[in-house]
Structure 1
Amino acid sequence: MINSVVKGDERQLLLDEKKAYLSKLKTTPEERGKVRSWVNRGNSVYANPWLLYSESGFPMDFITAMRAVAEMETLESYNSYLDIPDDDSSTELPF
């Protein structure tokens, strides 16, 4: 059920957009469930809650962004809290 604040044409647009989007991508059941939840809260599949953008400067779609976040979190040197790579803090600064 889409958020009750989203009405009529906008609701149908989001549902149609989700259907077309999912038909184009190979997704897991878990990914489809997360897309449904995202859209049911009144969001477009072409936006993401992490505010990630592609190299071309446009917002990443939901699944691409979700996969990017998952990939970053698997990198041993990635610190998602700071969103910067961890480095060796024992290294002296050059100045």
Structure 2
Amino acid sequence: MTLTVAAVAIGLMVGSVTPLAFAHLAENTPEERLGRTMGNAELGREVGDAGGPLAVGAIAAATSLPVALTALAAAGLASGVLGRVALRDDGRVRPANPPG
């Protein structure tokens, strides 16, 4: 039962973070760079979709499934914290279309 709860929690985390992150990118990217930005974000998501199960499987094979799911949850939490720190509002006004 615990593994089911952990899997559901991880699914909810990923399922809610991805659309929020893509919406943030779309809202804060200049129009002329939007295609490249969203393409790079999708590439990163696909690498995670492919690499995540492989990493969890490798960790589970070396240790146990609970350890692997804990590692996955820790990686998701660390990613969220790093993203939050990187995207925090520092009060500066940013131009809609920065030069360059």
The structure having more radius of gyration, on CA atoms, is 1
The structure richer in helix per residue is 2
Structure with bigger strand share is: 1
TM-score normalized by the length of structure 2: 0.28
Higher relative contact order, chain-length normalized (CA < 8 Å, sep 6+): 2
